[in-house]
Amino acid sequence: MASNGDSGRGKQNVSGMLADVGSKESTGDYPFPGWEPFLPHLVHPLKVAIVETLLWIGEPLSAVQFGKVFRGVGDGFRESNVRYHLRHLAEVGVLEATPVVTSNGGKGSREKFFYFVDRTSR
Q: What is the pLDDT of residues 68-77, one digit of tens each?
A: 999 888 777 8
- 1 pLDDT more than 50: no
Q: So what's the pLDDT on residue 42?
A: 80
How many CA atoms lie within 13 Å of 121's alpha carbon, on the beta-carbon side?
3
**Range of the structural domain that residue 72 is part of:** 45-116
Q: Are residues 107 and 91 in the same domain?
A: yes
Q: Are residues 66 and 87 in the same domain?
A: yes
Q: So what's the pLDDT on residue 72?
A: 84
117 close to 93: Cβ distance less than 8 angstroms = yes
This model's pTM is above 0.75 = no
Q: Are residues 61 and 109 in the same domain?
A: yes
Rounded to an integer, the average pLDDT of 76-105 is 88
Q: So what's the pLDDT on residue 28?
A: 60
- Give me the amino acid identity at 28: G
